[in-house]
Structure 1
Amino acid sequence: MIKKLGKYLLVFLLLLTVGCNTERPVDWTPTFDSAHTIPYGTYVLHRKLKDLFPDSKIIDIKQNTYEYLEEIQYNYESDSYMAIYPSSDLFTDAVWEKLLAYVNSGRVAFVSLGNSNYTFEKYLEVKYHSFEPPNFGGNINVSLSVLNAGKENSYNFQKGVGTNYFSGFNPEITEVLGYVNYKGKKEPNFIKVHHGNGYFLLHTEPFAFTNYYMLRGDNYKYAADVLSYIPDENILWDNHRINQREKSGNSDGGFFSALSFILKHQSLRWAFFILLSMGILFLIFNSKRRQKAIKIIQPYPNYSLSFAQTLSELYKNNADHTAIVKYKINYFLEQIRTHYNISAKDTEKDFSELLSAKSGVDLKLCKKLALQIDIFRSKNYLDKEDFFKLQSLIHSFNQKSGHYGRTTGRK
């Protein structure tokens, strides 16, 4: 049985190695969704918003945009709106007009669109234009600049970006904040348009805020310069599951979204409660007519293979090295507590000396391990190199202490 299990484990590890080394094609779909880590998602920007606005609360809009703005229409005094998307067709004219009312009440809205918007052209007197049609599959070298602290900072972009700009606007209510430079032609692509008691920050290059550019060179500085014009207050982020919300009317399309829809309507709500009651009564009466099942005691199963598969899938698909390192540290501290009766409180004083005395491992390695754990626990971001460094130290400790990571009872 053990030999057979060993063969299965060997085959599994072989398949895992082949799968991990198989190059997966890159998904270049421009979703602009904050939950997507593909090149044209906005996951990185969403994660960094808290760093850009340290005193602000980031609020994800998880329902239809019109319904959300309708619900908060009497509470506009402490937030700013953000939407980044390549096309204005995502929202209906009613949503854009609702956003106009939101800004008119004294708020700020940052909107980055890759094409013209009829509502903005009509009410804000702005016109969109492009040097040439968009070519997302090719490489277009574009220089984008933004005014910051009295000087103009320029950044080079390519692959996926467009050449859009504002060809017309009302100078009495508009202030130019940035430009696009393409083949020697320079036009405004970032403007501030006053509307009522608030103002819009309109931008024509949404691809500059995607994961691809946030992680490419120093292009993230361009995003920081542009977003610095947004007041440091609560941010209404409208790029969370945005396609699914606006096209299906559900927040995530899951069970609780369907349940909330049922509970909103009285007839559906009563039908649901009657069905639920009948199901409970059926279980109650049916259970009395059956003989009580005899409990079957099964031998303890071996979940080693499933555990290894779960960890490998987590590392392969998620690649969240920060979480993995934190779990590794917690697992190791639990191992120390089980083997040597060293609790978490003991880590605050003479931890390395106490660990060395009880485990028999040399003090130098224990100090190095304790110092590395303290450093990693204080960091908010950890990468693959940090994971391998911690893994190497823990492996050395386990090897010298003779436990190899197994949790056994103390003698």
Structure 2
Amino acid sequence: MKGLRAYLIIGGALLIVYLIAEFNRPKPIDWTVSLSSKDKIPYGTYILQDRLNDIFPGDTIVPYRQPVYNVIADDSIKQSSYVIICHDIELSKPDYNQLEKYLKQGNDVFIAAEDFGTLFEKNLSITTDAENYFKFTRDYGMPVSFVSPYLDPKKTYTAGKGMGDIYFSKFDTTKAVVLGKDIKHKANFIKYAFGKGSLYLLANPKFFSNYSLLKPQGAAYAAAALSFIKSTKKITWDQYYTQGSEENDSPMRVFLSHPELEWAYYIAIFSLLIFVLYEIKRRQRIIPVIEPLGNSTLEFVNVVGQLYYEKRNNDNIAKKQVLYLLTYLRDEYHLKTNKLDKEFTETLTAKLGLDPDFANDFVEFLHYINVQDHINDKELIHLNKLIEQFYIQSR
């Protein structure tokens, strides 16, 4: 027991010394783009949240940490404006349908994001891209301006750190109204009309960050952009797409969000583990030998293979192979697999270093399998060989 006591004392002393050193160590600047109202880091939105009453005087600001569908289902926000500021947004189909219904009822929605997700791209033909700028604009930011009779179109705004470099590379010019552009005359702020309501889309959410709002031009741009929202008694302010749902705020999650406490927690767990192993070694009894279970994996594979062979359901096997492959491409390489077109083929070739001719044949055959109602043995074997060749080339 004396040895254990000495170990605990030394371990505790080392832990205290480490925590003191960590507490007093200068912290590097965190440039994470969180856009969270809780964060005081450069790309948080703590200042914006704190000054909302100055931007919307007399309005009630109600924060929500739920998906769009759940928020709009709340009858209390039927007459309001909805603001979402995040790095990227991916709405589900029910979310999008509910949002469209909310707009047609005469409400305004303002979304600032660098990527608007699949449904906005599909329904509104929206895609975004980044400018290829020189060092000057990388250091000081891309100058941007508004296109509005109520604002000076010659006045430009910059906030530094490359802000303003995102623009809409594609949008429906017959339906969208351009409200803002960059110095290269590329649209970065547009409006769509839905019945009596308006959908405002801005491609540079960093202008609402702490770093931007500490700059006079950045603060002026953010206030001017939000001023397009019509005056209502209530502003619904999204926090779900930057902080997640409220269920994520468990005590352990909050505890581990602080690096010092996280390290203390892991050191304590490590110390406890050493203590437990030490005690087990002292008191361990003879463990009887138990024969391991036989490996029946091969037998299982043979049985499953035999079942598929007897059913001869080539269509099911081929389509599952394609489905698993596309899932792998989405998870591992973040590719959009909803369209097996030329753009998808070029992206696949560039990211995985495939032979272009092979990539074209491969993608065309995947599309062929998806649209066929009957797959014969020869086609199934050819698909399997193509997939094997794909994995070989992508290594």
**What TM-score do you get using the length of structure 2 for normalisation?**
0.52
Q: CA deviation at 1:30?
A: 1.2
Distance 1:157 1:123 in 2: 32
RMSD after superposition: 3.1
> What corresponds to 1:158 in structure 2?
160
Give the direction of change, closer, same or farther, for the CA distance of 1:144–1:70 in structure 2 (3 Å limit). same
Q: CA deviation at 1:18?
A: 9.3
DSSP 3-state at the match of 2:185: strand
8 Å Cα contact 1:86/1:206 also seen in 2: yes
DSSP 3-state at the match of 1:156: coil
**2:28 partner letter:** P
> What corresponds to 2:386 in structure 1?
none
Q: CA deviation at 1:197?
A: 2.9
Give the direction of change, closer, same or farther, for the CA distance of 1:150–1:87 in structure 2 (3 Å limit). closer
Distance 2:66 2:22 in 1: 37
> What corresponds to 2:141 in structure 1?
141
Q: Is 1:175 matched up with 2:177?
A: yes
Q: Is 1:67 matched up with 2:70?
A: yes
8 Å Cα contact 2:130/2:165 also seen in 1: yes
Q: CA deviation at 1:100?
A: 2.2
Distance 2:72 2:121 in 1: 21
Give the direction of change, closer, same or farther, for the CA distance of 1:70–1:222 in structure 2 (3 Å limit). same
Distance 1:19 1:143 in 2: 40
> What corresponds to 2:59 in structure 1?
56
Distance 1:77 1:70 in 2: 9
DSSP 3-state at the match of 2:189: strand
Q: CA deviation at 1:210?
A: 0.5
Per-residue CA deviation, residues 330-388 of structure 1 (Å, 9 max, x unaligned), is xxxxxxxxxxxxxxxxxxxxxxxxxxxxxxxxxxxxxxxxxxxxxxxxxxxxxxxxxxx
The 5 A counterparts of 1:3-402 are 22-72=25-75, 75-89=76-90, 91-132=91-132, 139=139, 141-147=141-147, 149-152=150-153, 153-161=155-163, 163-181=165-183, 185-233=184-232, 234-239=234-239, 242-245=242-245, 250=247, 252-253=249-250
Give the direction of change, closer, same or farther, for the CA distance of 1:123–1:163 in structure 2 (3 Å limit). same
Q: CA deviation at 1:28?
A: 1.4
**2:250 partner letter:** G
8 Å Cα contact 1:105/1:197 also seen in 2: yes
Give the direction of change, closer, same or farther, for the CA distance of 1:187–1:214 in structure 2 (3 Å limit). same
Distance 1:129 1:20 in 2: 41
> What corresponds to 2:364 in structure 1?
none
**1:40 partner letter:** Y
Distance 1:192 1:151 in 2: 18
Distance 1:195 1:21 in 2: 54
Give the direction of change, closer, same or farther, for the CA distance of 1:68–1:121 in structure 2 (3 Å limit). same
8 Å Cα contact 2:141/2:164 also seen in 1: no
Q: CA deviation at 1:59?
A: 0.3
Distance 2:159 2:22 in 1: 34
Distance 2:37 2:68 in 1: 16
Per-residue CA deviation, residues 290-311 of structure 1 (Å, 9 max, x unaligned), is xxxxxxxxxxxxxxxxxxxxxx
DSSP 3-state at the match of 1:151: coil
Q: CA deviation at 1:239?
A: 2.3
Unaligned 5+ runs, structure 2 = 1-19, 253-395
8 Å Cα contact 2:110/2:200 also seen in 1: yes
**2:187 partner letter:** P
Give the direction of change, closer, same or farther, for the CA distance of 1:97–1:162 in structure 2 (3 Å limit). farther
Q: CA deviation at 1:76?
A: 4.8
Give the direction of change, closer, same or farther, for the CA distance of 1:118–1:144 in structure 2 (3 Å limit). same
Q: CA deviation at 1:31?
A: 1.2
8 Å Cα contact 2:37/2:44 also seen in 1: yes
8 Å Cα contact 1:35/1:241 also seen in 2: no
Q: CA deviation at 1:117?
A: 2.6
Distance 1:65 1:253 in 2: 22
DSSP 3-state at the match of 1:46: helix
> What corresponds to 2:285 in structure 1?
none
DSSP 3-state at the match of 1:170: coil
8 Å Cα contact 1:139/1:159 also seen in 2: yes
Q: CA deviation at 1:240?
A: 6.0
Give the direction of change, closer, same or farther, for the CA distance of 1:77–1:66 in structure 2 (3 Å limit). closer
8 Å Cα contact 1:116/1:129 also seen in 2: no
Distance 1:81 1:206 in 2: 15
Give the direction of change, closer, same or farther, for the CA distance of 1:28–1:92 in structure 2 (3 Å limit). farther
Q: CA deviation at 1:77?
A: 4.0
Per-residue CA deviation, residues 382-406 of structure 1 (Å, 9 max, x unaligned), is xxxxxxxxxxxxxxxxxxxxxxxxx
DSSP 3-state at the match of 1:179: strand
The alignment-based identity, stated in percent, is 29
**What TM-score do you get using the length of structure 1 for normalisation?**
0.50
Query: How many residue pairs align between the two structures?
Result: 229
Distance 2:119 2:157 in 1: 30
Per-residue CA deviation, residues 243-265 of structure 1 (Å, 9 max, x unaligned), is 331xxx7263369xxxxxxxxxx
Q: CA deviation at 1:174?
A: 2.0
Per-residue CA deviation, residues 100-157 of structure 1 (Å, 9 max, x unaligned), is 2221222110001102432122223433333349x9xx64631111245242231123
Q: CA deviation at 1:190?
A: 0.5
Distance 1:93 1:130 in 2: 27
Distance 2:36 2:94 in 1: 22
Q: CA deviation at 1:29?
A: 1.4
Distance 1:79 1:217 in 2: 29
**2:211 partner letter:** Y
8 Å Cα contact 2:143/2:157 also seen in 1: yes
Give the direction of change, closer, same or farther, for the CA distance of 1:210–1:120 in structure 2 (3 Å limit). same
